[in-house]
Amino acid sequence: MLSPPLTDAEREKYLPELLAAGWELQTDRDALKKTFEFTNFVEAFGWMSRVAIWSEKMNHHPEWFNVYRTVEVQLTSHDVEGLSMRDMKMAEKMDKLAE
């Protein structure tokens, strides 16, 4: 296990900021989701490439789907079957890279 599931205290600390930034809790599983919109496909793919590099560094990989300038992302930690600090850090990194 790379990171334990989020505690209630960690959820209270980290989730409000992510939810305010446009992330949503999924209703069917313990995961976050967000849709990123870019100006065109090159911008979207460039962002995905930057995220891919960080994903390797963090050893945490998103579930995502790309069509043209839109990237739909879902974050969860499969080894703990829910959210962990890896997801919080990845969501923050994705938001920063999209700025």
Find the CATH number of the domain harbouring 77: 3.30.1360.20
CB 91 within 8 A of CB 36: no
In the chain, count H helices and then E strands: 3, 4
pLDDT at 2: 72
pLDDT band at 3 (very low <50, low <70, confident <90, very high): confident
pLDDT at 1: 54
Whether residue 1 is contained in a domain is answered as no
Whether residue 31 is contained in a domain is answered as yes
Whole-number percent of the chain with pLDDT over 90: 96
The boundaries of the domain holding residue 46 are 26-98
Number of domains comprising the chain: 1
Report the distance separating Cα 28 and Cα 70, nearest Å: 22
Q: Does pTM top 0.95 for this prediction?
A: no
- Average pLDDT in the 55-82 region? 95
Which positions ≥6 away from 82 have C-beta within 8 Å? 5, 6, 29, 30, 31, 76
Whether residue 10 is contained in a domain is answered as no
